[in-house]
Structure 1
Amino acid sequence: MLPSLVQRITQFLIPQQTYTTTRFHHLYSTLSIYDNIPKKLKKFERKPLVTSINELKRRGRQRRKERQNVKEIILQSPENGLLVQKLIPVAKQVYAARSEVLSSVSRLVNFIAIYSCSICGDVHVGDPPHKIKTCNVRGSLSSKEHSWVKGGIEHVLPLVESFHLYDRIGRAVSHNEMLLVDRIPAIVELCIQAGVDIPEYPTRRRTFPVYCVAGRIIDFEKRFPKDIYLEKDIEEYGFPYKKKRSDQDTNSMEMHCDDIQAVAVRGMKAWKKMCTGASKLMEKYAVQTCGYCPEVQVGPKGHKVRNCQAYKHQMRDGQHEWQEATINDFVPPVYVYHIRDQQPGKPLVNELKRYYGMLPAVVELFSQAGAPVEKIYGHTMRDVVVPDMDEEKWVV
C-alpha cells in the first residue's frame, strides 16, 4: 500500500519540477555558445587566414612559374586598372549608406546613453551600465568591475583608416611618404577605388588596361591627368596634393526627423546595406590587413610604413604582416550585451551573464531605439527568458 502511494505522489510532482528545470536547461544548453562572434585574440596570436597557407603557397609557385615565361598575362578588372562596371552602383550605395548610418547614430546618441570602460575599452549601450565583472586587463580593479565613462559615436562605430592611393595598382606607400599621403576612412577609400568620385580625393581612372609581361606591369597611358601639373601639384614622390581636406564629411548631414524609431529603422537598413555592399566590393577589390594589429590598407598590396607595434614587430623592423582582410577587419563590430525586454533602471548582473545575448553596438543602439533586429543576429541575440536570481538554482 505504501509503495503504490509513493509512486502516485511521485508521478504527480515530478512533471512540474521537470518542466521548470528543463525549460532553462534547454534554453541555455542549445544557446550556450555565441555563434558568429569574432574571438578576441591574444597579443601573440595571429588573425586566422582567409585563404589556407597551402593555397597561398600554390599561388606563389604559379606566379613564379609564369614570370619565367616572357609572355603577356591576361588581367581581368580590376587587376588591369579598369573599374568593374557592375560594382559602380554598389559602391555608390555603400557610400550613401555609410553617410546615413553616421547620421542616424549621431542623432540617437543624444537619446540613448553609451558607456565605455576607461581601462579595458569595453562598451555598453543603455542606461544604467552593466555590473558584469569582465574587466581583466593590466591596471583594472581587483574586483574586475568596469570603470564606466560617457562614450560617443567613436565607441559604437570605430574608425578604420587607410592610405588614400592615387593609383591603386601603382607602387605602395613607402615609410618616408607616411606624412605626405592622406589617411581617410577605409570604407570611403574602397568606394573611391570602386568608382565613387570625390573631388577632395582625386584618383586615377584609366581608359586602357595595363599589361602584365613576365610579372611586370606595363602602362602605356600618361602617368598623371591633364588638369594636374607636375611642377605645381605633384611632389617628387608621385602623390598629388591638389586638394583641401574638408573637416566636414558628407556623413554630417542632418536628418530632419522627430520620430526616433523611424531614424533607427532607416539606420538599421543602411547598416545592412553598407555591410552587404562592402562584402560584395571586397570580393573583387582586395583589402589587406595586418595579421597582428588592426592596420588596414585598401588595394592589392599593403603599404611599407613601419608603424606596426604588435607581437614581434622588432623582428619585422616595424613592417606589417599583410594578409587578406575580412569584413570584420574592415568594419569591426563592437559586441555589447543584449537582453530582451530589459527592465529600466536595473543593470545587468554578473551572476546571470551566461544568459545574456550579444549584438554589435550599432545594432543594439538601433534596437533600443525601436528598430527590429535582422534574423542574421538570431544566434547571438539569445532572446530567451532570463531567470531571476532565485530561479538560477533550478538551471541544470
Structure 2
Amino acid sequence: MALKQKGWYQLLESFSGCQFYSPRMNWDELRPLIMERIKHRAKDYPVRALIPVANDVVKARALLIEGISTLIKFIPIKACKRRAKNQDHTWIDGTLNDILVPVETFHLQGVSQDVIKHDQKFDFERFPAVLELCRQAGANVYDECLYKSSSTSDNGKNYSVIAESLSQPKLTSMAKLTLEAWERLRAGVQKLLLVYPAKVCKRCSEVHVGPSGHKAQIYGVLKYEGRQGTHLWKKAKVDYLVPPNVVWRQRPQDPLLLLDNGRDFYGCAPAVIELCLQAGATIPVKYFYMMKIQG
C-alpha cells in the first residue's frame, strides 16, 4: 500500500511539476526550508507597482479620520457602554473609535522576521493594521504618523481638527470627501491584500500582517487555549483590517424607537456610510440592499 501511494505521488509530480509531501513528513525538518523560502521571497518586496497604492491608502486614512472627527461634531452619535446580552442599552456620547473601529497589529522589522513568541509580545510595538500593511508595501509612513494613530486608537479622542461653524453646503462637501476617502481606503487595502499576506485568528479575531502569524496571546489565556494554546490563522479580508461596524438606521417609515422584534425589517449600514448620509452625502448604490431604501 505504501509503495502504491508513493507511486501516485511520483506520478502527480511528473505531470504537475509540483513537489508533494507525504503526510508523515517531519515538519520540524521542513520548517527551516519554509523559513528560508520566506527570506528569499522577502527580496521581492516591496512591489514597486503597488507603492503608489500604499501611499494613497495612508492619505485616504488620514482624510477619513479628519472627516469623521469633523462630522461627529455636528451629527450626534451614541454608543452603548454595555456588552452584556439581553439588557437594555445604556447610551453615551460616541467618539471616533465608535465609527472607525481601531485594529492594531504587531509592528514587524521585516517580512522575514522570526515568529513572535508569547514571552516576546512586549518587545514589539503595536500599530494600526492598515498602516503596518502600507509600511510593508513601501509607503512613506512616518514615525509621528504611526504614534499619533496609535494614541488616537487607544484613547478614542478625535483627530486634531478644529471644529468651526460649517454651513450645510460645507458640511455636505465634507461628507462627500469623507465618503470618498472611505471608498479609497477599502479599495486600496483590497489591492494590497492580493499581494501582501495578512492573517486573522478564527478564535479571537487578532490580526497579523505578515506571512507566518505569531504565538502571542494578546488577551491573556483564553478558555479554548490553555497554556500552550495557539492562534488558528486564516487569510484576512478587508473587513478585518477596516471593520465596517454596521449600525441600525432609522427610515421615515420606522418607529421613533427601534425595537428588538423589528430586526428583520430595519435597514442597516456601515457607521461611516450612515454618518455621511445624514450629513448630506449621496450614498453609492451598492449599499442600498442592506439599507433597505425601498422598504
Fold in common (TM above 0.5):
yes
- Provide the residue aligned with 1:171 in structure 2: 114
Cα distance, 1:106–1:375 mapped onto 2, change above 3 Å? same
Cα distance, 1:110–1:342 mapped onto 2, change above 3 Å? farther
- Provide the residue aligned with 2:72 in structure 1: 109
- Provide the residue aligned with 1:273 in structure 2: 184
Report the Cα distance in structure 1 between the residues aligned to 2:39 and 2:109, rounded to whole angstroms.
20
Q: Report sequence identity in percent.
A: 30
Amino acid at match of 1:83: P
- The Cα shift of 1:78 comes to 6.0
Report the Cα distance in structure 2 between the residues aligned to 1:109 and 1:60, rounded to whole angstroms.
55
Report the Cα distance in structure 2 between the residues aligned to 1:282 and 1:182, rounded to whole angstroms.
22
- Provide the residue aligned with 2:139 in structure 1: 196
Alpha-carbon deviations, 1:243-295, whole Å to 9, x = none? x945777x946488831111110000000010011011001000011111121
Report the Cα distance in structure 2 between the residues aligned to 1:62 and 1:366, rounded to whole angstroms.
55
- Provide the residue aligned with 1:312 in structure 2: 224
- The Cα shift of 1:310 comes to 4.5
SS of equivalent residue, structure 1 residue 162:
strand
Amino acid at match of 1:327: V
- Greater C-alpha radius of gyration: 1
Amino acid at match of 2:224: K
- The Cα shift of 1:303 comes to 1.5
State whether residues 77 and 84 of structure 1, in contact with CA within 8 Å, keep that contact through their aligned partners in structure 2. Answer: no
Cα distance, 1:263–1:91 mapped onto 2, change above 3 Å? same
Q: How does 1:209-358 map to 2 (within 5 A)?
A: 245-246=147-148, 252=159, 254=161, 258=166, 259-307=170-218, 309-310=221-222, 312-314=224-226, 317-341=228-252, 346-350=256-260, 352-358=262-268
Amino acid at match of 2:107: H
Report the Cα distance in structure 1 between the residues aligned to 2:106 and 2:201, rounded to whole angstroms.
14
- Provide the residue aligned with 1:91 in structure 2: 54
- Provide the residue aligned with 1:40 in structure 2: none
State whether residues 337 and 357 of structure 1, in contact with CA within 8 Å, keep that contact through their aligned partners in structure 2. Answer: yes
SS of equivalent residue, structure 1 residue 168:
coil
- Provide the residue aligned with 1:365 in structure 2: 275
The answer as to 2:128 corresponding to 1:185 is: yes
Cα distance, 1:62–1:300 mapped onto 2, change above 3 Å? farther
State whether residues 339 and 383 of structure 1, in contact with CA within 8 Å, keep that contact through their aligned partners in structure 2. Answer: no
TM-score by length of 2: 0.76
Consecutive unaligned residues in structure 1, runs of 5 or more: 1-57, 121-135, 202-243, 386-396
State whether residues 340 and 384 of structure 1, in contact with CA within 8 Å, keep that contact through their aligned partners in structure 2. Answer: no
What is the aligned-residue RMSD (CA, Å)?
3.5
Alpha-carbon deviations, 1:82-115, whole Å to 9, x = none? 2111110100111100001100111111111221
Report the Cα distance in structure 2 between the residues aligned to 1:164 and 1:181, rounded to whole angstroms.
6
- Provide the residue aligned with 1:384 in structure 2: 294
Amino acid at match of 2:231: H
Cα distance, 1:90–1:286 mapped onto 2, change above 3 Å? same
Q: How many residues align?
A: 260
State whether residues 246 and 269 of structure 2, in contact with CA within 8 Å, keep that contact through their aligned partners in structure 1. Answer: yes
TM-score by length of 1: 0.58
Amino acid at match of 1:274: L
Cα distance, 1:158–1:74 mapped onto 2, change above 3 Å? closer
Amino acid at match of 1:376: K
Equivalent position to 2:63, from 100, 107, 119: 100
SS of equivalent residue, structure 2 residue 143:
coil
State whether residues 93 and 277 of structure 1, in contact with CA within 8 Å, keep that contact through their aligned partners in structure 2. Answer: yes
Amino acid at match of 1:378: F
- The Cα shift of 1:330 comes to 1.4
Cα distance, 1:76–1:378 mapped onto 2, change above 3 Å? farther
Report the Cα distance in structure 2 between the residues aligned to 1:165 and 1:280, rounded to whole angstroms.
21
Cα distance, 1:154–1:342 mapped onto 2, change above 3 Å? farther
- The Cα shift of 1:350 comes to 4.4
Report the Cα distance in structure 2 between the residues aligned to 1:170 and 1:367, rounded to whole angstroms.
43
- Greater fraction of residues in helix: 2
- The Cα shift of 1:339 comes to 3.8
Amino acid at match of 2:275: L
State whether residues 90 and 277 of structure 1, in contact with CA within 8 Å, keep that contact through their aligned partners in structure 2. Answer: yes
